[in-house]
């Protein structure tokens, strides 16, 4: 193919815009989570992803001992001042694991430099199974509670939802009534959309409750519950939801794709008998993501 025909091939892109997201997460060198998951998923979805690393670790903190942890809080003001000077604009700002509570304020100030339509997509990463992740304390809970007041959409699990609301953590299973109450209380703090993760209304099912406060509607999107608990699945799920939204999918469809593909990644990992702390084979489901987003040629 000569140059001219390639230009012709892509002529349909004229006057279209490649969606662009800023990813505010840690970089854990080993143990697929945060940036090492968000970046490939969004890239596969055709989204231009820029990274704001909150911390650099040798591994994530769930299931490994002796990891290194470099908090990048001190670097962030100059890092973001440089971006501001260059005038970069994003269609979405996606935050996850913060290196310190102070980073919530830095992030909030960064979001304020963006256009009003920028989607502020917050995964309030703090804990799971009723406990905070190592190194996090009440200061992080307070910072995250304030941060979600500015978010458009949040994706907590039940541990994080309970911490954000300052209520005791309840063990599953959850009644529909309890889930409805939690998502409404979270939306009252600020975000229009609340996606509560790890929710299965029936035995053997898991998925997410999706609440749109403007419509005051809760949708339950579920799949088969697979055995075990694998690290980084929350980050895989959130990144898949954002990938769908940034490709113009309605929220419930984006969550349907995320629920299905997270389960597929877990199933591949189970069959290969991989250790839970090493994360899931999300790489193997990227072709399905591309197909479901309508990008395959």
Binding site for ligand PXL (CB under 6 A): 26, 28, 33-34, 57, 60-62, 97, 125, 133, 232, 234-235
Between 97 and 121, CB nearer to ligand PXL: 97
Classified as helix, coil or strand, 67 is coil
β-pair partners for 194: 154, 211
Question: Minimum Å distance from CB 15 to ligand PXL?
Answer: 38
CB neighbours of residue 226 within 10 Å = 16
Least Å distance between CB 61 and ligand PXL?
Answer: 3
Phi-psi region of 46 (alpha: psi -120 to 50; beta: other; left: phi over 0): left
**From the CB of 25, what's the least distance to ligand PXL, in Å?**
7
Nearer to ligand PXL, 106 or 187 (CB): 106
Q: Measured from the CB atom, is 97 or 211 closer to ligand PXL?
A: 97
Closest CB to ligand PXL among residues 36, 114: 36
Write down the least CB distance from residue 197 to ligand PXL, Å: 12
For ligand PXL, the closer CB: 34 or 197: 34
3-state helix, strand, coil in the chain (%, to 5): 40, 20, 35
At closest approach, how far in Å is the CB of 4 from ligand PXL?
47
For residue 256, CA distances in Å to 52, 177, 195, 200 come to 28, 22, 12, 14
Complex with ligand PXL: residue 247 or 282, whichever CB lies closer: 282
DSSP string, 208-277: EEEEETTTTEEEEEEEEPPSS--TTHHHHHHHHHHHHHTTT--HHHHHHHHHHHHHHHHHHHHHTT--GG
Q: How far is the CB of 178 from ligand PXL (least distance, A)?
A: 24
Q: What is the DSSP string of 96-120?
A: ---SSTHHHHHHHHHHHTS-TT-EE
Nearer to ligand PXL, 19 or 96 (CB): 96
* Cα distance between residue 220 and residue 201, in whole Å: 8
Rounded CA-CA distance 244/92 in Å is: 12
DSSP symbols for 136-166: --HHHHHHHHHHHTT-SEE--BHHHHHHHHT
CA distance 47 to 50: 10
Residue 118 vs 238, nearer CB to ligand PXL:
238
In the bound complex, what is the minimum distance in angstroms from residue 81's beta carbon to ligand PXL?
Answer: 25
Please, is 102 exposed, middle or buried when counting C-beta atoms within 10 Å of its C-beta (0-12, 13-18, 19+)?
middle
Q: Which of 142, 121, 122 is nearest to 132 (CA)?
A: 142
């Amino acid at each position: 193919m000569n140059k001219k025909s390639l230009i012709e091939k892509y002529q349909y892109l004229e006057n279209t815009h490649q969606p662009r997201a800023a990813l505010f997460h840690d970089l854990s060198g080993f143990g697929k989570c945060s940036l090492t998951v968000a970046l490939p998923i969004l890239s596969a979805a055709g989204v231009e992803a820029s990274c704001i690393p909150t911390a650099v670790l040798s591994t994530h903190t769930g299931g490994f001992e002796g990891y290194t942890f470099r908090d990048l809080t001190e670097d962030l003001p100059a890092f973001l001042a440089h971006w501001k000077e260059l005038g970069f604009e994003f269609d979405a700002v996606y935050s996850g694991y913060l290196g310190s509570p102070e980073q919530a304020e830095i992030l909030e100030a960064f979001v304020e430099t963006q256009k009003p339509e920028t989607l502020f997509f917050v995964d309030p990463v703090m804990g799971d199974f009723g406990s905070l992740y190592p190194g996090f304390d009440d200061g992080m809970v307070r910072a995250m509670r304030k941060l979600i007041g500015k978010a458009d959409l949040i994706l907590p699990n039940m541990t994080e939802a309970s911490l954000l609301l300052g209520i005791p953590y309840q063990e599953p299973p959850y009644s529909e009534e309890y889930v409805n109450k939690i998502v409404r209380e979270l939306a009252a703090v600020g975000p229009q959309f609340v996606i509560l993760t790890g929710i299965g209304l029936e035995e053997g099912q898991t998925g997410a409750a999706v609440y749109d406060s403007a419509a005051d509607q809760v949708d339950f999107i579920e799949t088969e519950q697979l055995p075990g608990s694998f690290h980084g699945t929350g980050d895989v799920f959130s990144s898949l939801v954002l990938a769908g939204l940034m490709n113009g999918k309605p929220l419930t469809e984006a969550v349907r794709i995320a629920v299905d593909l997270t389960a597929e990644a877990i199933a591949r990992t189970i069959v290969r008998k991989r250790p839970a702390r090493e994360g899931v084979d999300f790489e193997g489901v990227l072709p399905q993501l591309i197909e479901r987003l309508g990008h395959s040629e």
